[in-house]
Amino acid sequence: MSDHDDFGSFFVGFLVGGLTGAIVALLFAPQSGEETRAVIKEKSIELRDKASKIAEEGLSKAEQIAGEVKKRASEVAEKGQVILEEGKERLGGKKQKPDAT
This prediction's pTM: 0.46
Does residue 36 lie in a domain region?
A: yes
Our count of domains for the chain comes to 1
Structural domain that includes position 34? 2-88
Does residue 95 lie in a domain region?
A: no
Contact present, 3 and 65 (Cβ < 8 Å): yes
Which residue ranges in the chain fall short of pLDDT 70?
Answer: 1-5, 29, 93-101
The 3-state secondary structure of the chain reads: CHHHHHHHHHHHHHHHHHHHHHHHHHHHCCCCHHHHHHHHHHHHHHHHHHHHHHHHHHHHHHHHHHHHHHHHHHHHHHHHHHHHHHHHHHHHHCCCCCCCC
Does residue 98 lie in a domain region?
A: no
Does residue 41 lie in a domain region?
A: yes
Condensed to tens digits (0 to 9), the pLDDT of residues 51-79 reads 888 888 888 999 999 999 999 999 999 99
Does residue 97 lie in a domain region?
A: no
